[in-house]
Amino acid sequence: MDWIKRVGDAFWHPFSGGAQQAKADRQPLGFDIAILSFDRPNYLAKTLKSLRPQMSTKDRVTLFQDGNFDPHTNTAVASWKNIQACVDIFRQIFPWGEIVETRENLGIAFNYERAETHVFEKMEQKPASSLRTTSCSRPASPV
């Protein structure tokens, strides 16, 4: 359960007056972070900017970028510009991070499955954290 303490320490550290510590010198969180993204670069930027100060360059962070093309309907379901903006934002904020992207739109369920398979089977992690960009504040949907 030591990883839980490291996560707590990492999340509170920037607010405890010790934020001047070099980011590269921070102790790694000790688990992979998988970030799932679709076509909301503004929400992704907010999520990544919030997460970045709490991480070390030794932490493994992976963006699972869903695509914009629906092969079943042979149509674009999102703007390719927004998809590419998500990838560019991730590269800017986490230049050492890994990007797993696809041109086809997998949908949220298959993107989660892809992330879990990658983290738990390929990377052999035990604890993990999954962040969705839609977890940021957004205007309420009309009823």
pLDDT tens digit sequence for 60-97: 899 999 888 988 899 988 888 999 999 999 999 999 99
Q: For residue 30, what are the CA distances in angstroms to 19, 43, 89, 113, 129?
A: 19, 25, 24, 22, 11
pLDDT in the model for residue 141:
46
Using pLDDT thresholds of 50, 70 and 90, give the confidence band for residue 118: confident
> Which residues is 64 bridged to in the sheet?
36, 100
pLDDT in the model for residue 104:
85
Most confidently predicted of 38-47, 69-78, 99-108: 38-47
